[in-house]
A and B are shown apart, each in its own frame.
Chain A
């Protein structure tokens, strides 16, 4: 049942300009959001840790482009990109990072716990591995209600050694649930490389054990991600088949802003080498080479994205600090 697919550069049919524009816009939106968040962190405006998604944009954007708005997404703590791609408002997201009143969760969740019900974004989760069974539960409910939605569950390679990864795959297979487990293998969990943490570093192969359709994909190629996830979505909608996808990707920044260079456990050369696979640069090149977009189009997109993110930062800056009495809300249902 399980099959593998060699990472490949999608070539072939001419690119749809509308789609290319959407993908590039969304990827740039994430990148600029993260860059501005990093600046704000350095200025002390953001508390807690800050885990940037820079380098991995093709995964969130490619995967989300294969979803319907009413599909669900759930993620770990490096989730700004997943939340943005799902259509959340960058202004309210930035305000959440700033801990302000107009944030998605009135500043209580912060960077690692974004939630947006309006786009079926079921949250960031900071306990590594713990949201995987939650995704299975949502998929169970979808199936129970006989709907044709799916849920995509993003997680890192760091979740694979956790029991809950294996518990969830087994359960999703056993109960045949419409969940797509999408592992973003960026090769490191904090300072630990996959070869020091995993007896099997080909993560997609774990799915085989459970009889789940499992594939590996070049996570820097937004079209390849879109294709693989598209097929998984189709299986899930058709007959609630779960999938495991391993996206081969890389984080260009450190684990968090505390580890800005990420230099202790990986070499500068390695990082520079991986940056040659920059998913945004690759998409831009392809769009220009294939004639889907002109230089002027790209500049206009970049300008538009920059303006939107500047606006988001201004919004977050202007949003008031949360009032102290907010401490006691939402502990139990009120009224």
Chain B
């Protein structure tokens, strides 16, 4: 086993999937010669050539639109959007085309493609470079929305996304790219899309998180254990949509209390859907209202105020304590 950071782990997944399947192509701005803004596609053009690792002009709608055409014909494009904040330039392609071909053609055509984008805060960046917009994609039927939380699951989920028969929007946390190294097996592996993982077991309270917030939830669980003697269970969603309601409901049925943590703004965010799912599936087991710890309902805040906006350990612990005291 080798220890890789998330950038290297994603690069490995791309490399192995391209080796495995000649129909996999990569398309995006500066993905080739430059190896990507965050170097996720580093060296792939040298290995696979410019026909398979394609530097596109600066034109997001064309990147996704041509990706759709490639996929309809039978290729498996992996499109990169440099930052999730730029994806509104191609949102119409994603919403109107990527997500709908299967339904629109009654299964005769479909878009087996992956749209990768860095998302999220914690890197002292500015507007369009710090937001978390998973709710937009999670809301679209026909799309799968995946957000890994570490190098190993990032690698395994990206491989699964590339092999998936349906389109996957794949968010990569900028804060996690270089945050930690993890053992990643050399041989190819996939994790199932649509399945959450129990990242830490506990019986008193469920913390639901994903992406960069997983670490925050885990640290909050440590604090609760150390200071309050509370055993929090931590769920790592990994896939936002389709949501693994079963795992969430099973955990909350056991603990009776839940706090959902996400970086997307609070209102109409994934937390609302998760809370509703808990209510529907575990209503009679609930000991307290489900709490949400999320970014505030603000589009952007500037780097100087970022810490006051993105959920941190203290906010999660405070919400957990209120839930426990209810």
Contact = CB atoms under 8 A, between A and B. Distances in A.
Given A48-B303, A324-B305, A327-B305, A197 B57 contact: yes
Contact of A190 (B29, B129, B297, B299): B29
B300 interface: yes
Given A49-B126, A113-B126, A108 B302 contact: yes
Nearest to B125: A48
Interface stretch (B58-66, B214-222, B245-253): B58-66
Contacts of B201: none
A107 B58 contact: no
A190 B30 contact: yes
Q: Is the interface of B mostly helix, strand, loop or mixed?
A: loop
B308 interface: yes
Nearest to A331: B298
B34 interface: yes
Given A48-B124, A127-B128, A190-B29, A108 B58 contact: no
Interface string B79-98: 00000011011000000000
Contacts of B57: 161, 192, 197-198
Interface string A312-335: 000000000110101110010000
B312 interface: no
A113 B58 contact: no
Contacts of A99: 302-304
A197 B58 contact: yes
B33 A265 contact: yes
B156 to A, nearest CB: 29
B304 A107 contact: yes
A264 B298 contact: no
A127 B37 CA distance: 16
B127 A191 contact: no
B44 to A, nearest CB: 15
A197 B129 CA distance: 23
Nearest to A158: B58
A321 B301 CA distance: 13
A40 interface: no
A331 B265 CA distance: 13
Given A198-B57, A328-B298, A48 B305 contact: no
Contact of A127 (B33, B89, B304): B89
Interface in B1-57: 29-30, 33-34, 37, 55, 57
B296 interface: yes
B127 A49 contact: no
Contacts of B277: none
A122 B213 CA distance: 36
Interface in A91-123: 99-100, 107-113
Contact of A163 (B29, B61, B85, B309): B61
Interface in B177-231: none
B58 A109 contact: no
Contacts of B85: 126-127
Residue of B30, B57, B129 with most chain A CB atoms under a 10 A cut-off: B57
B58 A48 contact: no
A293 B37 CA distance: 45
A179 to B, nearest CB: 21
B62 A108 contact: no
B302 A322 contact: yes
A129 interface: yes
Contacts of B29: 189-190, 192
A107 B301 CA distance: 9
A130 B89 contact: yes
Given A109-B302, A110-B302, A190-B29, A47 B126 contact: yes
A191 B58 contact: no
Contacts of A126: 85, 126-129
A238 interface: no
Contacts of A23: none
B26 to A, nearest CB: 15
B58 A161 contact: yes
A14 to B, nearest CB: 43
A159 interface: yes
A128 interface: yes
B34 A190 contact: yes
A273 interface: no
A4 interface: no
Contacts of A110: 126-127, 302-303
A54 B46 CA distance: 32
Contact of B127 (A112, A163, A189, A321): A112
A322 B309 CA distance: 13
B309 A327 contact: yes
Residue of A48, A100, A196 with most chain B CB atoms under a 10 A cut-off: A48
B35 to A, nearest CB: 8
B15 to A, nearest CB: 20
Contacts of B304: 47, 99-100, 107, 321-322
Contacts of A159: 58
Contacts of A130: 89
B305 to A, nearest CB: 6
15 contacts: A47-B303, A48-B129, A48-B303, A49-B125, A49-B126, A109-B302, A113-B127, A161-B57, A192-B34, A192-B55, A197-B57, A197-B58, A265-B34, A327-B309, A331-B299
Given A324-B308, A328-B298, 15 more contacts: A47-B126, A47-B303, A49-B125, A108-B301, A108-B305, A109-B126, A110-B303, A129-B89, A161-B59, A161-B62, A163-B62, A191-B34, A264-B33, A327-B305, A327-B308
Interface of A: 47-49, 99-100, 107-113, 126-130, 158-159, 161-163, 189-192, 196-198, 264-265, 321-322, 324, 326-328, 331
